[in-house]
Amino acid sequence: MHKKPEGFIPPHGNYRELLSYQKAEVVYDITYRFCERFLKRGDRTIDQMIQAARSGKQNISEGSKASGTSKEMEIKLTNVARASLEELLNDYEDFLRVRDFSFWTKDSKEARYVRRLGNKSQVTYETFRVFVETRPGEIIANIAICLIHQANYLLDQQIRRLEQDFVKQGGLRERMTKARLALRNQSPI
């Protein structure tokens, strides 16, 4: 009896388990509410920030779903997510700079507190709701900046890992060829 060969499309698409996705989702939720509270209607920055936050989140999920058949697409979309969050980071920094608001340093007690909250398992918007709904824009922008830095760090790690995995395992064509050869080797001539 011959062992049935494994399929060449690996399990994929479990993006909700990715810490990078979870962080990006919180960043999106905070950004949406931040824009509603602190930017004037008609300001083009609102659309830009919300779309950058959305792109960060959505491209992680799309890349994860595409990963079964295209590692190249997964790497590309994960990098698009990273670039979108970098754009959003610049928007929050601009908000603080042009209003002469303070930036939290990486080692400030406030930034450390946000990092601790953000490092808990299953971080959601609820973790930050009380701050986002009651604090001034300066504080919320700094919270968002801290979380974007965390998400970007995770995405940088994820991209490096995807690159290593591709080098070791190859892509769909290599898996297809391997599966076809395995089937041929099992069939009598």
**Every domain of the chain and the residues it spans:** 18-173
- How many other C-beta atoms are found inside a 10 Å radius of the C-beta of residue 63? 28
Q: How many CB atoms lie within 10 A of CB 182?
A: 15
User: pLDDT category, 102, cuts 50, 70, 90?
Assistant: very high
Residue with tokens 């962080």: 23
Which residues in 120-146 are b (16+ Cβ under 10 Å) and which e? eeebeeebbeeebeeeebbbbbbbbbb
In the predicted model, is pLDDT for residue 185 greater than 60?
Answer: yes
Residue pLDDT, tens place only, 20-55:
999 999 999 999 999 999 999 999 999 999 999 999
pLDDT at 58 over 60: yes
pLDDT at 100: 98
Question: Where is pLDDT greater, at 51 or 8?
Answer: 51
Phi and psi (nearest 5°) for 11? -55, 145
pLDDT of residue 94: 98
Q: How far apart (Å, rounded) are the C-alpha atoms in residues 178 and 189?
A: 19
Whole-model pTM? 0.84
What pLDDT is stored for residue 173 in this prediction? Answer: 61
- Residue 101 has, within 13 A of its CA and on its CB side, a CA count of 16
Mean pLDDT of the chain: 87
Residue 106 has pLDDT above 80, yes or no: yes
* pLDDT value for 5: 46
Q: What is the pLDDT of residues 123-178, one digit of tens each?
A: 899 999 999 999 999 999 999 999 999 999 999 999 999 888 777 766 556 655 66
Say how far apart CA 4 and CA 101 lie, in whole Å: 63
The residues near 72 (Cβ < 8 Å, ≥ 6 apart) are 166, 171
Rg (CA), the chain: 21
Q: What percent of the chain has pLDDT over 90?
A: 67
Task: Give how far the C-alpha of residue 114 lies from the chain's centroid of Cα atoms, to the nearest Å.
Answer: 18
